[in-house]
Amino acid sequence: MKISTTGRKVSLKPAFIERADKRLSKLDKFFSDEAAAQVTVTVEKDWQTVEITVRDKGFVARAEKSADNMEDALDAAVEILTKQIVKNRKRLETKLYKAAFDDYAGIEQEEESFAVVREKHFYVKPASVDEAILQMNLIGHSFFLFRNVDSDEINVVYRRKNGTYGLLIPKE
C-alpha cells in the first residue's frame, strides 16, 4: 500500500510518519498493491485529528479520530478502520482479498442490514451552492440534493461534523 502523509498546521516528524507506515502496513493483507492511503493530521488548540482514507479498486474506507496527541488519534483511527473492514467483511470479500478475511472467520459480527425503509421522490431544482445550503438549513436536514446552476450537474451539499459545509460533485 502506498501511504502519503500530510500535516495541516503542523510539520510531521519522521517518527510519526514511520509509526503511521507501520500501523497501516498491518492492513496490507486487505488491499491490493495498488491501494493508496492518505493520512492527514490537523492540529488545533487543544486537540489533534488524524484522518485516514484508503482507496483501492473503487472501494474507499475512511476513519477520523481526535485526541490530545496525534499518536493516540492515529492508533484510534487505524482501529476504527480495521473494525469497519472486519464488520463488512462478507460484502468486501468479493472486492478485496478473501484470504485476508480468513483470520477473522471465528469472530462473530452482527450482520448489518442495508434495507431501504423509505423512498422519497422529489424534483431536483436548479440552485446555486449558497441557495442549496440555505434550503438545507431551512428544512433542517444534514444534506441537500440539487442541480447546480453553474455546471448543470447534480450536486449534494452537506453539513460536516465541525459545522462547516461540504459539496459533493460527481466525477466520471
Grid coordinates representing 6 are 500530510
First to last CA, the chain: 24
Give burial (CB, 10 Å; 0-12/13-18/19+) of 24.
buried
Residues 6+ apart with CB under 8 A from 101: 30, 86, 89, 92, 93
Give me the residue spans of the domains in the chain: 2-104, 126-168
Q: State pTM to two decimals.
A: 0.61
User: Does domain 126-168 match CATH 3.40.50.700?
Assistant: no
Class for the domain spanning 2-104: alpha beta
Per-residue model confidence as pLDDT tens for the chain (172 residues): 899 999 998 899 999 999 999 999 988 888 888 889 999 999 988 889 999 998 887 778 888 999 999 999 999 999 999 888 777 766 666 555 555 555 555 555 555 667 787 888 878 889 999 989 988 887 778 999 999 999 999 999 999 888 899 999 998 7
| Strand arrangement, sheet containing 36-43 | 2-8, 36-43, 48-56, 59-67
Q: What is d(CA 166, CA 64) in angstroms, rounded to the nearest whole number?
A: 16
